[in-house]
């Protein structure tokens, strides 16, 4: 049965159109999974349109605190997962290397032309300008429910605002909310679309609506998908069901009806980049009776 889901921060797509191997166990290490500090949020994402996005990063503790962690968002697939420990929102920066003036207090002016060097006064080598790193704001998440522990981010270019080159939308991407075996449909059509999906014979997606469906094979053992617009079939094919996967499906208006874009995610245990063990209590393991430092 088709059903609609409420979603904080509805996707603002206005468009035209993996796993990681674990390191082998070192002899002597425990096979039990190491306990990790719980992050504020785990996120992954992609760039919706255009080239992949590199050269960005975020501070693990938020703003300018903690380690600066580089991120990479591909075009057409999910990035790896990243851990964030600060307050929301998550802010993304571009790391830029700039030259720093030797004497900022000195007023700017045209330098005097150097005179001829004296025979007994060798020319001093020029001092190299020092370089520093600046972090330029690029994008920030917004309105993420604090109860969500994992989100999927969709980056979209924002040429109207040079100071904010990307807008970011998000959905709840936890496995509990969006489990394996499900397809999550997002319609960007301004009109109602009818749909047949696997064993589901008929359902409808309201204008700019969404629905999460469990994939069920039809009587022939197939998973057909057919989309209708005003009783006219505008999309028809057969999809595969791959175990331990879930799929985002975007139905985008096109001259002949709709175009379909799918993002398949393999549900598996994957440690997020930047996860860290719990902080040890200060003084833990010290003998409280000892007064010296030996």
219 domain-assigned: yes
123 domain-assigned: no
- Do 73 and 195 share a structural domain? no
Task: Return the percentage of the chain with pLDDT > 90, whole number.
Answer: 53
Short-list 153, 127, 149, 119, CA closest to 139: 153
User: Taking the CA atoms of the chain, what radius of gyration do you get in angstroms?
Assistant: 27
- Do 207 and 141 share a structural domain? no
* Count of residues making up the chain: 294
- Do 48 and 161 share a structural domain? yes
117 domain-assigned: no
- Do 67 and 172 share a structural domain? yes
- Do 200 and 154 share a structural domain? no
* Mean pLDDT value across residues 90-105: 77
What is the pLDDT, as a whole number, of residue 121? 57
pLDDT band at 277 (very low <50, low <70, confident <90, very high): confident
Say if CB 193 and CB 233 are below 8 A apart.
no
Domain end point (choices 147, 177, 207): 177
- Do 255 and 209 share a structural domain? yes
10 domain-assigned: no
* Mean pLDDT value across residues 76-103: 87
- Do 208 and 150 share a structural domain? no
192 domain-assigned: yes
What is the pLDDT, as a whole number, of residue 65? 85
CATH code where residue 64 lies: 2.60.40
- Do 184 and 172 share a structural domain? no
Note down the domain range covering 193.
179-278
- Do 185 and 168 share a structural domain? no
Report how far apart, in Å, the C-alpha atoms of 242 and of each of 88, 113, 195, 217, 273 are: 35, 72, 21, 12, 26
- Do 166 and 51 share a structural domain? yes
Mean pLDDT of the chain: 80
- Do 170 and 42 share a structural domain? yes
* Mean pLDDT value across residues 250-271: 90
* Mean pLDDT value across residues 144-167: 92
28 domain-assigned: no
Cα separation, 183 vs 178, whole angstroms:
9
1 domain-assigned: no
254-259 contacts at long range (C-beta below 8 A, 24 or more positions apart): 254/17, 257/227, 257/229, 257/232, 258/189, 258/193, 258/227, 258/229, 258/234, 259/17
Would you state the structure tokens that stand for residue 208, as one six-digit string? 């700019």
Between 255 and 113, residue with greater pLDDT: 255
Residue 288 has pLDDT above 80, yes or no: no
For 149, counting Cβ atoms within 10 Å of its Cβ (0-12 exposed, 13-18 middle, 19+ buried), the class is: middle
- Do 271 and 149 share a structural domain? no
Q: Which residues contact 294 (CB under 8 A, 6 or more apart)?
A: none
pLDDT band at 279 (very low <50, low <70, confident <90, very high): confident
Cα separation, 122 vs 119, whole angstroms:
7
Greatest extent of the chain over all pairs of C-alpha atoms, in Å? 98
What is the pLDDT, as a whole number, of residue 122? 59
What is the pLDDT, as a whole number, of residue 32? 45
What is the pLDDT, as a whole number, of residue 144? 94
Cα separation, 149 vs 275, whole angstroms:
13
pLDDT band at 63 (very low <50, low <70, confident <90, very high): confident
Domains: count for the chain: 2
9 domain-assigned: no
List pLDDT tens digits, range 204-250: 999 999 999 999 999 999 999 999 998 899 999 999 999 899 999 99
Output the pTM of the full model.
0.73
List pLDDT tens digits, range 116-147: 666 665 566 666 667 788 999 999 998 899 89
């Amino acid at each position: 049965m088709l059903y609609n889901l409420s979603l904080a921060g509805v996707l603002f797509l206005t468009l035209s159109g993996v796993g990681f191997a674990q390191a082998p166990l070192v002899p002597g290490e425990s096979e039990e999974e190491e306990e990790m500090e719980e992050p504020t949020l785990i996120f992954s994402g992609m760039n919706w349109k255009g080239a992949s996005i590199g050269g960005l990063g975020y501070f693990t503790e938020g703003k300018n605190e903690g380690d600066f962690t580089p991120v990479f968002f591909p075009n057409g697939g999910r990035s790896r997962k990243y851990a964030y420990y600060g307050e929301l929102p998550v802010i993304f920066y571009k790391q830029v290397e700039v030259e720093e003036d030797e004497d900022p207090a000195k007023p700017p002016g045209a330098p005097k032309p150097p005179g001829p060097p004296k025979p007994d006064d060798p020319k001093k080598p020029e001092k190299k300008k020092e370089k520093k790193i600046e972090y330029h704001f690029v994008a920030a998440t917004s309105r993420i429910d604090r109860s969500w522990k994992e989100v999927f981010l969709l980056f979209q270019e924002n040429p109207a605002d040079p100071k904010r080159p990307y807008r970011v939308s998000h959905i709840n991407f936890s496995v509990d909310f969006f489990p394996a075996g499900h397809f999550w449909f997002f319609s960007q059509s301004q009109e109602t679309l009818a749909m047949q999906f696997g064993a589901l014979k008929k359902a409808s997606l309201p204008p700019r609506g969404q629905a999460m469906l469990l994939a069920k094979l039809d009587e022939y053992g197939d998973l057909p998908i057919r989309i209708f617009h005003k009783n006219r079939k505008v999309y028809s094919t057969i999809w595969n069901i791959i175990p331990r996967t879930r799929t985002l499906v975007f139905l985008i208006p096109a001259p002949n009806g709709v175009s379909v874009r799918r993002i398949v995610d393999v549900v598996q245990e994957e440690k997020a980049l930047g996860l860290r063990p719990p902080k040890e209590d200060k003084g833990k393991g010290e003998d409280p009776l000892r007064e010296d430092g030996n």
